[in-house]
Structure 1
Amino acid sequence: MNQLLNDAINYHQAPGNSPLLIILAYLLLMSVIAFLAFGLDKYKAKAGHWRISERTLLSLSLVGGWPGSVLAMKTFHHKQRKQSFVRLLILASIANIALLVAVLSLLVAR
């Protein structure tokens, strides 16, 4: 486990590999995917079609798409009234922020 962590931290030594850029690119990609999923679900809800499950929407948030999820909720006015969903999205966002802070702390400590 320690070797894996050390390899991940030292990955930035290869030319063109910046851990911060990789993290930001990943978060951007997942946010775009989550934003589009929320938008599609809102469209399907209005049209009376089969919906994207809340589990899928929350999973996208949990794996790094939380900025896109929050933005989509505000943009599309979607899932804002369902308090249980909002609470879980807040928890996913907090978990992601804590993980990001921990990873960045490790990178800075090197």
Structure 2
Amino acid sequence: MEAKAIARHVRVTPRKARRMVDLIRGKKATEAITILKFAPQDASLPVRKVLESAIANARVKADKAGEPFRENDLVVKETYVDEGVTLKRFRARAQGRAARINKRTSHITVVVANKEGNR
């Protein structure tokens, strides 16, 4: 069984979020949560929330199908970060000039699935 969660327009740059996503790809879901919990980067919080949401979605899906749910059997099958809308801001500079500041957003997607051997 597969479950998916997406967080859109998260105010973290895609480059920084991808660092966190690369840490958890292919790991057990419970292990991935622990990794993200102790990661010092700020981008780990939104990624962890999306992962927890995907696990909750898997639980709901299993309940609807009448299947037993074991969180320890879940694996992070697929994770990726896409670039969202860029908020454009300006900072005042010397001699009346303005410099552009790009505040980037991310779309974080996490897919969890059961291990292949435990169907």
**Both structures adopt the same fold (TM-score exceeding 0.5):** no
**Max radius of gyration: which structure?**
2
Structure with more helix by fraction: 1
Which structure shows the bigger proportion of residues in strand conformation? 2
Task: Provide TM-score, normalisation by structure 1.
Answer: 0.32
